Structure 1
C-alpha cells in the first residue's frame, strides 16, 4: 500500500513539473504574422494589432523588414523556442520562436504575445526578426573548422576529462585490496573548477569555486542562430588516482624467510 501511494505521489509530481504547453492559437498567430509581413498584408496586420501596425511609421518599418526577408516560399519551418508564463488574475504571456529555412539563408522570427484573463484572443506585444546567410551562421555549428588553437586545447580538455574519469574508475575496480571501491568510484567522476566556452566566439567562462560531476556537457538552444556551448571540468581526483596518490593501498610486505 505504501509503495502504491509513493508511486502515485511521484507520478503527480512528475506531471506537476512538466512545463505548460504553448497554445496552438499562439503558434498559429505567430505564423500568420510572419506570413503577413513577408507577403505585404499590412491591412491584416493592422486589424490584428492597430496600435502596433496601424501607423504610417509602422508601414515604413514593415517595408524595411519585408526587404530583408528572402524571396520565395521557405523550404521548411521549425519551432526553436517556446516559453509560457501565467500571471494569476492578469492573464498569460507566451513567447514563440520560429526558424524558416530558405536554403542559402534562414530567418528567425520571435513574438511575445499576451492574453488578458477572460479574453480568448491573443494580443501582439512585440516581435523580432533576424536574417542570416548560411555563411554567417556557419560559426554556430559544432565544427572544428576555423577555430583557434585555444579552442582546440579546450576541446581536448573537454574530451579527455571523461576519458580520464573512466580510466580512473577502471583502475579503482582492478586495484586489489582497495576498500570502499564504490566511494572511490564516485570520486573518480568529481572534477574541480568549471569551464564553459562559446564554441562560435571562443569566449570562455571559468568558475574557480566550483565542484562538477562528470566531465563533458554540450548544450544548444536548437536554432541555427544560437551557438553551441561546451562545458568541462578538470578531473582532479581522477588524475590523483591515476597517478597513484589516491586509492593506492599499501602493499603487504613480504615476510623474511626463517
Structure 2
C-alpha cells in the first residue's frame, strides 16, 4: 500500500516547465489567434515569408472564436545538446467549452543565451465528441478490451487475496518473505484504451503490475498496464506457501 500511494502521489504531480518557455509559447499562440502576424514572424524568423503568412491564416481559421476558458501545461521535454545549447518542447491545452486546442512549440536556446528561439509549432483542434474516444470509459469497446480490463482489475485483487492467505496460514514460516512475493507477476501487458492496440513484453517481471497512465491532455489516450499474477495463483491454488499439515491422532 505504501508503494501504491507513492506511485499515485508521483502521478499527480503537475508538469514543471521553464516559465520563460511557457510564456513564449503562450505569446505565440495569442499572436496566432489574434492575427498579429508581424509579431509572430519576429518571434519565429524561420517561419517568415508569404507561405508562412498563408499558413498562419489557415491555422487561425480553425481556432475557436473568443477567449479560452482555461489553459494548462500538458507536456514538457528538455534536451541539452553538448556544445550548442538546450532544446525544449512545450504543450499547452486551451479549453473553449465547445472545443479544445493543443498548441505545441519546439524551442531552442543557444549556449550562453537567455532567450528562447522558436524552431516550429503545431496546432490541433478537436470537439468534445471527437475527444470522447480518449476517455477512460467502458463504453463502445471490443470484447478483447473488456477481457483485458477484467484481467487488469482481477490481477491486483488476486495478489491481495494471496497476501491474506499467506498471513493467515498457520505454520507457514518466513511469512515476511512470502508476502512481497504475492505481488510478483510475469509478462507485462499494456493496452491503448482508445484504439485497443496491445503491447506484450514476454520477458518481463512486474511488481504489482496494474497501472493507469495518461499524459494529462484530453488529446492523449489512457493506457492500462497489467501483469499475470502467477505467484498469487500458485499461492491461492496451494502449490506454494502451503506447509504440510500435521496429522491428528484420534484418542481412544
- What's the TM-score, normalizing by structure 2? 0.90
Q: Counterpart in 1 of 2:134?
A: 140
Question: How many Å apart are 1:57 and its aligned residue?
Answer: 0.5
Question: How many Å apart are 1:47 and its aligned residue?
Answer: 1.6
Q: Secondary structure at the match of 2:149?
A: helix
CA RMSD, 1 decimal: 1.5
Q: Which of 11, 21, 34 in structure 1 is aligned with 2:29?
A: 34
Runs of 4+ in 1 over 3 A off after TM superposition: 255-258
Q: Counterpart in 2 of 1:180?
A: 174
Match runs of 1:114-125 below 5 Å: 114-125=108-119
Q: Counterpart in 1 of 2:235?
A: 241
User: Which stretch of structure 1 is more off in the superposition, 21-30 or 201-210?
Assistant: 21-30
Q: Counterpart in 2 of 1:151?
A: 145
Q: 1:80-129: CA deviations, max 9, x gaps?
A: 01122223432121111000001111000000111111223211011111
Q: 1:6-29: CA deviations, max 9, x gaps?
A: xxxxxxxxxxxxxx9633221111
Match runs of 1:41-60 below 5 Å: 41-52=36-47, 54-60=48-54
Name stretches of at least 5 consecutive residues in structure 2 with no aligned partner.
1-14
Match runs of 1:193-208 below 5 Å: 193-208=187-202
Name stretches of at least 5 consecutive residues in structure 1 with no aligned partner.
1-19
- Which has the greater radius of gyration? 1
User: Quick check: 1:170 aligned with 2:184?
Assistant: no
Q: Counterpart in 2 of 1:23?
A: 18
Match runs of 1:78-97 below 5 Å: 78-97=72-91
> Is the contact made by 1:22 and 1:94 (CA closer than 8 Å) also made in structure 2?
no
Q: Counterpart in 2 of 1:13?
A: none
Question: How many Å apart are 1:226 and its aligned residue?
Answer: 0.4
Aligned length: 238
- What's the TM-score, normalizing by structure 1? 0.88
Between the aligned partners of 1:50 and 1:133, the Cα distance in structure 2 is 32
Between the aligned partners of 1:112 and 1:29, the Cα distance in structure 2 is 11
> Is the contact made by 1:21 and 1:84 (CA closer than 8 Å) also made in structure 2?
no
